[in-house]
Amino acid sequence: MPVFDDGQTETRTPVSSVVETDVLIVGSGPAGASAALLLSTLGVDNMVITKYRWTANTPRAHITNQRAMEIFRDMGIEDQVLADATPHHLVGDTVFCTSIAGEEIGRIHTWGTHPAREADYQLASPCLVVDIPQNYLEPILVKNATVRGTQTRFSTEYLSHVQDADGVDVLARDRLTGAEYTIRAKYLIGADGARSKVAADIGLPYEGAMDIAGSMNITFKADIERYVGHRPSVLYWVIQPGANVGGIGAGLVRMVRPWNEWLIVWGYDINEEPPAVDEAAATQIVRDLLGMPDIDVEITGTSLWGNNEMYAKHLQKGRVFCAGDAIHRHPPSNGLGSNTSIQDSYNLAWKLALVLRGQADRSLLDTYSAERAPVAERIVRRANRSSREFVQFFEVLGLLDATTEAEMVAAIEERKANTPEGAAKRAALVAAMELKNYEFNAHGVDLGQFYRSAAIVSDGSSLPAPGRDADLYYEMSTVPGSRLPHAWVGDTMHRTAMMDLAPYDRFTLVTGIAGEAWASVVDKVAHEFGIPLGTVVIGPGQEVTDLYYDWAKLREIDESGAVLVRPDKHIAWRSVTLPEDPEGALRTAMRQILGKA
Ligand SMILES: Cc1cc2nc3c(=O)[nH]c(=O)nc-3n(C[C@H](O)[C@H](O)[C@H](O)COP(=O)(O)OP(=O)(O)OC[C@H]3O[C@@H](n4cnc5c(N)ncnc54)[C@H](O)[C@@H]3O)c2cc1C
């Protein structure tokens, strides 16, 4: 074992030899850093290479949805994320206005903060939506991954790879020295963002187009609490001349830290020369959107980026997988990018762990694409539609025909008039505001991910027809492929979420007292397949009690039946009752899930 300068005798490979790892991850963004954290938590040897010297240097993603928060909870880092996040109750009122100091056109309760929606969100998950800027989140992910075993190499660029029957040789460049070297991995994850070179190298098939609109980010510091503290929100949408050009629908003033750090997103015409955004230009845009012509602002950064509408139809080739923006590229509308990237990795990491340990057949890995490609398509379509639907605001306010600022102001003013035109405008605004629920309260898009693949054993049933709009509302179910429904269970002293009973490092069979016979069956099947598989019996007198009798109402099976929960909290299989041969039934299901049929 080599001894290094610092006296440590860990199993580090001397620089001159080929570096080896089980899973090499390219990228330390939300997709890559969470893949590393998940793999390290499962004890899988992994390494991250990332091009720059540190994590994200701009806020970018911020809305962190319930599903992502659940993953952090599962990884034991929920508290760390909450400590750096703006809490749920401050993310509430999304405001539409002519400027921060100017007129308000309307507000909408967002991210599940409407009193009528709060219940939907609380009933669906133990976690609520919070706001944590990407430059605060990534260090938490990378730190915890590295503490748990990830080898993290900054300033290291992926150049190319070659795969063979047993692994992947990746050529990497150390950007400090210029030295190129090979990393030999059993599997490679390309989490290298919207311009993914890994995805290009494996020739993933895409649908859609890149750079369909241009946006600029301006980060700045200015204390504007006086104008926003009484209507706390993370998003203030500004309708001003030019706000409908390119970009994400309208001008945006976004809170980074309450209430003195901000990010402005403003559009530009991508078919023209990219604008030069120097300090003077940035300050002018900030002052215009704030509606405060003399305010002192400190510009902390500017950048240009393209809005995309593109998703991969297949996500992997051989031993190489792509995750995150590499496979779904879309505007930030609905706040889905980072969240979905983290969820991609959550889907993939446990499968890699089982295959690497020889507990599952390699075909289990094929289910990654089968399960996540439909999600990629859905979110890309939703985000772009939400961005386009902003046009309805401009339309109902009569701004599409306004050619001068004066005309625009007059058109917005008209909504106050006691005239038929004013009344029509007010009525149309109600509908336009309502439509934005599809961007800001799309609970069904956030949580309603349903999987169909060989790792889901159908019982012939299909999801109940949605009683409400499937984008806005999430319906819980235990039909195989669904996400495990949430309920609070526990005992006299503790309240536990259903998801906590099914940790990421094992399969879990959940049953009731009449299904106690499953327990010995589970032990036998676990032993036979050599996999981590536990049983939870829920009922009075058991370790876990159905505290509110909610689980009994949600489980959609008899008390003697069982649901088999995968590590990623999707239902892999269920049995409505205790069958005559429960061992045979579970064995057959397990065989299919592990690809050993
Ligand atoms: C203004 C804005 C607001 C947003 N708001 C939200 C939001 O509220 N909620 C949300 O969920 N999402 C939001 N997003 C989207 C979110 O930022 C992205 O979806 C997310 O960053 C994608 O994560 P990723 O890990 O796939 O890729 P990235 O974050 O792009 O990370 C890519 C990584 O790959 C590395 N890399 C690239 N090429 C190489 C190479 N050749 N070699 C080595 N390393 C390489 C990079 O250094 C980086 O570490 C927003 C985006 C923007 C622009």
Residues 155 and 44 in one domain: yes
Residue nearest (by alpha carbon) to ligand 1 atom 20: 338
| 253's tokens | 């003033």
C-alpha distances in Å from residue 203, one per residue of 160, 185, 209, 327:
13, 20, 16, 12
Structural domains of the chain, count: 3
Residues 40 and 179 in one domain: yes
Residues 344 and 396 in one domain: no
Q: What is the amino acid identity at position 16? A: S
- Alpha carbon of 271 to ligand 1 centroid (Å): 24
C-alpha distances in Å from residue 100, one per residue of 97, 224, 229, 289:
7, 9, 12, 7
Residues 66 and 151 in one domain: yes
Residues 358 and 488 in one domain: no
C-alpha distances in Å from residue 298, one per residue of 60, 86, 229, 295, 306:
18, 22, 20, 10, 25
**Considering the domain boundaries, does residue 576 fall inside one?**
yes
Give the pLDDT score at 86.
Answer: 96
Cα–Cα distance, 343 to 353 (Å, whole number): 16
- Alpha carbon of 337 to ligand 1 centroid (Å): 8
| 286's tokens | 């900030």
Residues 317 and 426 in one domain: no
Residues 579 and 495 in one domain: yes
Residues 354 and 491 in one domain: no
CATH number at residue 38: 3.50.50.60
Cα–Cα distance, 378 to 464 (Å, whole number): 20
Cα–Cα distance, 171 to 169 (Å, whole number): 7
- Ligand 1 neighbours by CB, cut-off 6 Å: 26-32, 49-52, 60-63, 134, 157-158, 191-193, 197, 217, 265, 305, 324-326, 332, 335-339, 341
Residues 423 and 353 in one domain: no
Which of 234, 305, 338 has most ligand 1 atoms within 8 Å of CB, for mutation? 338
**Considering the domain boundaries, does residue 9 fall inside one?**
no
Domain of residue 170 covers: 18-86+132-206+309-370
Which of 34, 47, 51 has most ligand 1 atoms within 8 Å of CB, for mutation? 51
Residues 419 and 507 in one domain: no
| 297's tokens | 């602002």
**Considering the domain boundaries, does residue 57 fall inside one?**
yes
Residues 493 and 565 in one domain: yes
Residues 495 and 568 in one domain: yes
Q: Read off the pLDDT of residues 92-110 as tens digits, 9 standing for 90 and up.
A: 899 999 999 999 999 999 9
pLDDT in tens, the chain (597 residues): 444 444 455 554 444 568 999 999 999 999 999 999 999 999 999 999 999 999 999 999 999 999 999 999 999 999 999 999 999 999 989 999 999 999 999 999 999 999 999 999 999 999 999 999 999 999 999 999 999 999 999 999 999 999 999 999 999 999 999 999 999 999 999 999 999 999 999 999 999 999 999 999 999 999 999 999 999 999 999 998 888 888 888 999 999 999 999 999 999 999 999 999 999 999 999 999 999 999 999 999 999 999 999 999 999 999 999 999 999 999 999 999 999 999 999 999 999 999 999 999 999 999 999 999 999 999 999 999 999 999 998 999 999 888 888 898 999 999 999 999 999 999 999 999 999 999 999 999 999 999 999 999 999 999 989 899 999 999 999 999 999 999 999 999 999 999 999 999 999 999 999 999 999 999 999 999 999 999 999 999 999 999 999 999 999 999 999 999 999 999 999 999 999 999 999 999 999 999 998
